Structure 1
C-alpha cells in the first residue's frame, strides 16, 4: 500500500510543480455561433482560432448541429475567428482579446454570406469533404482541415460519426463496445487505457483520415461481427523523440494501481517505438445460488453462498521498428508480450435440505486457484507500392506463443445437521499446464482498374496447436494420488487457408462493392485415450455493400455479409472445474462453429443522426447453458439450432448550450433461440428488450465533466432470464500546459447499483443466481506527455488477430 501511494505522490508532485506557472496565467474557454444571412444556423462548418498577430492557427473545430463552436484551454492574448463552409464565403471576426482574469469569452454571432462569385473560367480541384460516406465505411478527412490544429487524435476521434468514448476511454461504435481499432490498417494490440494514452499524445496534424467500418468486407477475417475504426496517419518525415507517462490509483474494496510508459524515436529512415505497462487489480464478488432438484416425488433444495476475492497483476511490453528501405518500401518488426498473474480465493458454503431453510446436511468448499499467463508474439511486415496509380502489396508474418499454468487446491468439509463433521475433509488438487502456438502468413494486393473501379485480393494461412494437460490428484490417507476420473490431456490443432476478392465500383451518387472470402478449415480435437474429433470444411463468405446519396443531407446504405465464429480454445477444452462437488463447469470438444447472415439497412441525416435496422440469423449458435445430472449441475456450451436477432439502433448527438453537449443511443432488439432435443427437452425462447445509453459532456472553468447513464432492460438469452441492469458513471478532468499534463478523477457505478441476477426454469433447471461485484470504483489518473508530439510509430494490423482473440485469459 505504501509503495502504491508513494508512486502517486511523486507523480503528483511533478504535476503540481509543472502547474505552478499555469495557475499564474489561467486559461479560458472561447465560444460562439455561426448563422447565415437569414439568421439560420450553419452546422458542421470549419472554424479556426487564429492569432491576431500573424494569423497562425491555434486550434480548429467544427460547429455542432446548433451552429455552436467551443475552444477550451486558450491562453490570454488577441485572436480572430475564421469560418469556412461549402457554398459560403470565408468569414472572419473582428480582433478580440482574452484576458487572464476571465474564464470564458463569447464571440458575437458571425454571419456567413452565400458565395456569389461569377466564374469567367472553370477550375476543377479535388477537395475531399470533411465527412465522406464510402461503400463500406464512413470517412472523416482530417488532413488539411482546421479540425487537425490544436487537437489530439482522441479529441478528433470523439467527433467522428457514430463514435462515443466514455469516461474510461472505452470506444463504442453505434452504442456497441468491443470495437477493433487499427492505425494505418494494422491492429493495435493495446488495452483501452494504453490506446487512449497513444491517441491523447498523437497530434491531430499527423492524422490523414479516420475510417469507421460497421460491417467489415471480405478483406477482413470472416470471424466476428465487431466494427472497425481505422486511423490513417500521414507519413512521418520529422526526427525526434516523444512519449508519455501515466500513473493512476483506484479504490473499491481493494486498492488498484496502474502505470505506463510510451516512447517513440525517429532518426533518418528508422523509427523505433516501445511501451511498458504494469498494474495491480484486486476485486471482490459475492454469489448466492438457490437450486431445486426434483427426482421423482422428492425435491431437494441447495442453498449456496460464495465469496470470491481475486487479485490480478499484469505486466505488458511492446517494442518495434520501421525502416524505410525506399520511398515505396517499408519493413517493420513488432515484438510484444505480457505476464499476468491471477490469484482466486473462493469460499463456498452449501446447505442441503428437503424444504427451504431446512438443513439436513451441509458442506464448505474452500479453493485456492493460482494462474500465471504468459504471451510472446512477433510480427514481421513489408509494404510495397508498385506504382503511382495505387497498386500495392503488403505481407505479414506472425508467431505467437501462449502459456498458462494453473494450480488449484480444494478442501471440502461435510457436516451433519447439528454441525458435527460427517467424516474427514476431502482434499483435491489440480495442475493445468496449457500451451498454445500460432503461426500466420497473409498477403494483400490492391490495384485500381480504372478511376472508378478497384480490385482487392489476398490470401492468409494460419496454424494453431493447443496442448492442455489436467493433472488431478486426491488425498488418500494423507497422501495425494492420481485421480483418473478427472485427469486428462486435450490436444487441439487447427489450420485455416483463406483467400478473398473485393471489387468496388463508384458512381456519381453512390457506389457498390461485392466481395467473396473462402476459408478452408482442418481441425483435430484429441482427448487422449478417446476417439479424436476430426473436422474439415470449406466455407464461402459473400459480402455486399450499396450506398446511395439521396440529397445533400440524406444518405441510404445497405450491407450484407456472412460471418463465422469458431469456438474459443477454452470452450473446446473438456476439462472439469469445480465450485463444489455439486456445481462445476466443463468444456465441450464437440462444439461446432456458428454461422451468421447479417443484413443492415441504414439512413444517415445531416451526417449526425444515424438510424439503422438490422436482422441476423445464426445457425449452430454457440450458447452457454446449465444442465442437471442427478443432484449435480454443470455449466457448458452447446450448439443450439438457431438464434434470430432483430434490432433498431438510433444514435444522435445534441447541444443544449455552448458548455453542455451530449448524445443518446437507443438500441431495441429481439433475440430468439430455438433447438430441439437438448438434454431431453426443447428450447423455444425469445424476448423483446432494449438498451438506453446517454452521455452528458460539460465544460466549465477549464474543466471537462462527463456523466453517463446506462439502462439495459430484462432479457432472455438461451435458457437464462437475465434481470435488468443499470448504472451511472461520472468523471472530471483538466489539462494543463498545452495538454502536456492531464488529471482525471472518476467514479464508476456512482450509486453502486450494478448487479448480475439470473433465473432459469428450462431443461430441468430450477435455479436463481444473485451476483454482486465491487463495481463502485474511485479512480485518479495523471498523464504527462513529453517531446515532439509529431513523431508517431507506424502501427499495423498483424495477421494472427483472429487466432489471438480466441485464446482468452490474457487480458
Structure 2
C-alpha cells in the first residue's frame, strides 16, 4: 500500500510540474536560480532536498538535491515570484525570502538549516565499499577497510592492486609495463624508483584510504608515465569536533618489526586542522645468489658463483600537518606540511668463487659492506580554491616547495683467497660518502568553466624547477690511511625546468560524452659532471588525449581513450656514479639518456557497473631499459635507450558474490611485451613473450569477524634482457571489532607458504647469468587500531601541485 501511495505521489508531482510549465502566456524558460545550503555550523549540506515553490500559492515547480558542496541549481525557470524550501532528516525546514525571476540568473542568499530540537532515535546506516571498484576513468582499490592492509606498508599493499607488480628492485609495473607515475593525494612524489620504494616501505598502510589506477590520464595530468598513474589517497579525518585514531602493529618474519601511527583531526566552524605521525622499525632479510659466465674476446670463459646475505633495517618518522579555512562558502585556502626523518643500515656479506667451471676454484673473495643512510625531507604546499559562481566555474592555485637531504656512507672490505683458502694478497678497503641535496619548486593554476549545460572547458598551467646535487667522495685505504680515489670521486649537478599548459574540452550528449585535450611541455635540462662537458637539452613536446564514453543502456558501457606520454630519465639513472656490490659487480648511471615517448590506446567495456574488460596497445620509442654489460671480467648494471617496445594487453576485473557472507574479486591481466633494437643500439636483440597475471581476493564475513584470502600468480615473462620466472603467493587475514567498533584487532600472514621469489636470468650481450633471490616475505602481523572522537561532517581532500617531479629522486625515505 505504501509503495502504491508513493508511486501516486510521484505521478501527481510530475503532473503538477508539467502543468506549471504548460500554462500559456509565459515567457521562454530562460531564468536560473541557484544558491548554497549550510548547516547550523556554516558547513555545506550535501544531498539535501531542495524544492522550488511558487510564491503565490506554494505550489511545487521543481525539485533537486544539493551537491557535496551544498550547491543547488534550477534551470529554465519561467518569469515570476518563487520561494526555495530545503528539507533533510534531522533538521528544521528552511525557506527563502520571495525571489523575483525575469529571465536572468538569480543567486539566492545562503540558506542555513537548524537541528530539530526534539530527540530522535539514533539510526546507524553502514555500507561497505567493494575492495576493487571500477569508475569511468580509473580503477579504485578501497584499502581503508581491508584486513590485509592493516600492519602492511604502502609498498606491500600496492603490490596487491589490480595489474600492479614489483620487480627484483621493487620497481613498479602496471599491466606488465614499467614507467608508472606515482602520486600521493594527487601530488607527485618527485622521487626516483629506489627512493620511491624506500618511501612506500616506510609509509604505514593504516594511513591509506584508497589506491587509484589511471591507465590513460587526461591532459590535466602531467605527461610523465608511459603506463599510467597510480594515485595513493591518504586518510583524512573529516568529522566535526576532535577525533582521530591510534594504531599499533607488531610483525615477525626473520626479524621483528613494529610501527605506530597517530591520526588527529579538529574541525570547528570554517576551520579544519589535521595531522598524522607515523614511526616504525623494520628489519628485513634478503638472500641473493648469482651464477654468471663471462666470455672474453678470445672466447675464454670465467665462471662466477656469488652468494650474498643482505639484511637491512629502516627507522622511519613520517609526519603530515595541514589546515583548510573556508573564508566564505565559495573561497577556501589551506596549507599542508609533510616530511620525514628516516635512517637505515645495510649489512652485506658477499662470497664469490671464481673458476673455469662452476665446480672449480681458481680463487675466491669475500666482500663485507656496511652502508648507513639518512633521509630528510620537508615539503610545503599552499593552496587557494575559489568558486567564481554556482554554475561550476572555479579557479585553484597550488604553490609547492620540497627539500630533500640524503646522506649515504658506505664502507667496503674485500679479502682475496687462493684455492686452498690462504690469503692471495692484501685486502682492498674502500669507503664512500655521498651527500645529496634536491630542491624542487612548483606552481600550478587550474581553471574550470562550464560554457553551456553540456560543454565544459578546463585549462591550466604549471611550472617546475628541480635541482639535484650529488657529491661522491671516495677513498681507498693505503699505507695505513685513507687517500682520495680520483677514479671514482666526482660531483654531479642536474638542473631541470619544465613549463606546461593544457586545455580540455568536455561535451556531454544524451548517452555519449567526449573529451579532447592537449598538453604542451617545454623541458630544459643541464647535467653537469664536474670536470666534464655538461649535457644540455631543450625540447618542446605536445601531448594530445581523446576520451569517448558511450552508454549503450543501463547495463552496458563502452569507453575509448588515447594519450601520448613521456618518461624522462630518473635523476639516479642520469647520475654517472659507480656503486659497488663487490670488485666484479657494480652499477653506473648514464648521463646521455634520452626521454622515451609512448602512444597509448585503450578500449574498455563495462557490464552492469561491475564486470570490466579492457583492451590496450602501446608503442614506446627510445625505451629506457636496464642492461647488464661486461667490461673485462666485470659486470655492471646501467640503463640505455633501446629502439622500441610494443605492448598488447587484455585486462578483466569483476567482483562477484558467492553467498551473503562470501564475496570475491578476480583480476586477470594477459599481455605481450616485445623489445626491438637496431644496429646503433648498445646491444642488439629482439625478444618478447606473452605473459599473464592473476589476483583473486575472497572476503568472508561472520558477524563482526571478517576473513580475507588473497591469491596472486604471475607467469614467466620477458622484460628487456631479463627472463623472469613465475611467481605466486597466498596471503590471509582476519579482523574483529570491539567496544562499539572503536577498537579493531587484525591478524594477518603474508606469503603463508613462503613461495614469493624474484628469480631471473639473461643471455644477452656476452652475459650468461642466473639470479635467485628471496626476501623474508612470510610475515605474521598483529595490528590494533583504536578510534576516538566525533564522527559527522565531511571536509575536502587537498590536491596539490608538486605532482610529477618527485617521482624521479632516488633513495628518499
Report the TM-score when normalising by structure 1: 0.79
Match of 2:497 among 486, 492, 495: 495
Size of the aligned set, in residue pairs, is 679
Aligned to 1:370: 372
- Partner SS state of residue 804, structure 2: helix
Aligned to 2:252: 251
Change (3 A) 1:173 1:370: closer
Q: 1:167, CA displacement in angstroms?
A: 4.3
Contact 1:457 1:501 in 2 (8 A): yes
2:274 and 2:237 mapped to 1: Cα distance?
16
1:89 and 1:613 mapped to 2: Cα distance?
46
Aligned to 2:293: 292
Aligned to 2:580: 578
2:340 and 2:807 mapped to 1: Cα distance?
15
Q: 1:390, CA displacement in angstroms?
A: 1.2
Match of 1:774 among 776, 800, 803: 776
Change (3 A) 1:411 1:196: closer
Change (3 A) 1:424 1:228: closer
Match of 1:341 among 343, 347, 356: 343
1:375 and 1:239 mapped to 2: Cα distance?
31
Residue 176 (1) aligns with residue 164 (2): yes
Change (3 A) 1:679 1:549: closer
Match of 1:405 among 383, 404, 407: 407
Aligned to 2:716: 714
- Partner SS state of residue 507, structure 2: strand
Change (3 A) 1:737 1:215: farther
Q: 1:764, CA displacement in angstroms?
A: 0.8
2:700 and 2:515 mapped to 1: Cα distance?
41
Aligned to 1:67: none
Match of 1:544 among 543, 546, 552: 546
Change (3 A) 1:682 1:90: farther
Q: Provide, for residues 200-239 of structure 1, a one-character-per-residue CA deviation record: whole Å limited to 9, x for no partner.
A: 7x9xxxxxxx998542211111112434669899997x74
Q: 1:695, CA displacement in angstroms?
A: 0.7
Aligned to 2:590: 588
1:276 and 1:232 mapped to 2: Cα distance?
12
Change (3 A) 1:359 1:425: same
1:767 and 1:244 mapped to 2: Cα distance?
49
Alignment of 1:20-59 (within 5 A): none
Alignment of 1:259-274 (within 5 A): 259-274=260-275
Change (3 A) 1:234 1:439: closer
Match of 1:432 among 434, 448, 463: 434
1:580 and 1:155 mapped to 2: Cα distance?
50
Q: 1:191, CA displacement in angstroms?
A: 5.7
Aligned to 2:686: 684
2:16 and 2:188 mapped to 1: Cα distance?
47
2:653 and 2:509 mapped to 1: Cα distance?
28
Aligned to 2:216: 215
2:782 and 2:760 mapped to 1: Cα distance?
33
2:565 and 2:299 mapped to 1: Cα distance?
47
Change (3 A) 1:157 1:331: farther
Contact 1:678 1:763 in 2 (8 A): no
Match of 1:609 among 604, 608, 611: 611
Alignment of 1:109-148 (within 5 A): 120-121=15-16
Change (3 A) 1:435 1:315: same
Q: 1:186, CA displacement in angstroms?
A: 6.6
Match of 1:763 among 756, 765, 768: 765
Unmatched runs of 5 consecutive residues or more in structure 1 = 1-81, 92-112, 131-143, 203-209
Q: Provide, for residues 55-90 of structure 1, a one-character-per-residue CA deviation record: whole Å limited to 9, x for no partner.
A: xxxxxxxxxxxxxxxxxxxxxxxxxxx99xxxx979
- Partner SS state of residue 685, structure 2: strand
Change (3 A) 1:762 1:196: closer
Q: Provide, for residues 90-140 of structure 1, a one-character-per-residue CA deviation record: whole Å limited to 9, x for no partner.
A: 99xxxxxxxxxxxxxxxxxxxxx999968644567557999xxxxxxxxxx
Report the TM-score when normalising by structure 2: 0.79
Q: 1:195, CA displacement in angstroms?
A: 7.8
Q: Provide, for residues 639-665 of structure 1, a one-character-per-residue CA deviation record: whole Å limited to 9, x for no partner.
A: 111111000001111111111110111
Q: 1:569, CA displacement in angstroms?
A: 1.1
Aligned to 1:743: 745
Alignment of 1:596-745 (within 5 A): 596-677=598-679, 681-745=683-747
Residue 797 (1) aligns with residue 799 (2): yes
Contact 2:189 2:802 in 1 (8 A): no
Alignment of 1:5-24 (within 5 A): none
Alignment of 1:406-555 (within 5 A): 406-555=408-557
Q: 1:176, CA displacement in angstroms?
A: 3.5
Residue 383 (1) aligns with residue 385 (2): yes
Q: Provide, for residues 667-688 of structure 1, a one-character-per-residue CA deviation record: whole Å limited to 9, x for no partner.
A: 0000001112477641201000
Q: Provide, for residues 243-280 of structure 1, a one-character-per-residue CA deviation record: whole Å limited to 9, x for no partner.
A: 11000000001100000111111223222111111011
1:270 and 1:128 mapped to 2: Cα distance?
22
Match of 2:303 among 262, 282, 301: 301
Q: Provide, for residues 134-189 of structure 1, a one-character-per-residue CA deviation record: whole Å limited to 9, x for no partner.
A: xxxxxxxxxx99xx96447x746755555444643336765437796776x67899
- Partner SS state of residue 806, structure 2: helix
Change (3 A) 1:398 1:231: closer
Q: 1:199, CA displacement in angstroms?
A: 6.5
Contact 1:265 1:791 in 2 (8 A): no
1:588 and 1:274 mapped to 2: Cα distance?
40
Q: 1:737, CA displacement in angstroms?
A: 2.9
Q: 1:738, CA displacement in angstroms?
A: 3.4
Change (3 A) 1:231 1:567: closer
Q: 1:437, CA displacement in angstroms?
A: 0.1
1:590 and 1:90 mapped to 2: Cα distance?
75
- Partner SS state of residue 424, structure 1: strand
Change (3 A) 1:579 1:182: closer
Q: Provide, for residues 741-786 of structure 1, a one-character-per-residue CA deviation record: whole Å limited to 9, x for no partner.
A: 1111100000000111111111111111110110100011111111
Q: Provide, for residues 377-416 of structure 1, a one-character-per-residue CA deviation record: whole Å limited to 9, x for no partner.
A: 1111111111121111110110000011000001011111
1:521 and 1:482 mapped to 2: Cα distance?
37
Contact 1:264 1:791 in 2 (8 A): no
- Partner SS state of residue 670, structure 2: strand
Aligned to 1:53: none
Q: 1:293, CA displacement in angstroms?
A: 1.2
1:181 and 1:90 mapped to 2: Cα distance?
51
Aligned to 2:283: 282
1:176 and 1:294 mapped to 2: Cα distance?
37
- Partner SS state of residue 389, structure 1: coil
Contact 1:247 1:781 in 2 (8 A): yes
Contact 1:272 1:793 in 2 (8 A): no
Larger RCO (CA within 8 A; separation ≥ 6)? 2
Change (3 A) 1:193 1:285: closer
Contact 2:563 2:600 in 1 (8 A): yes
Alignment of 1:59-70 (within 5 A): none
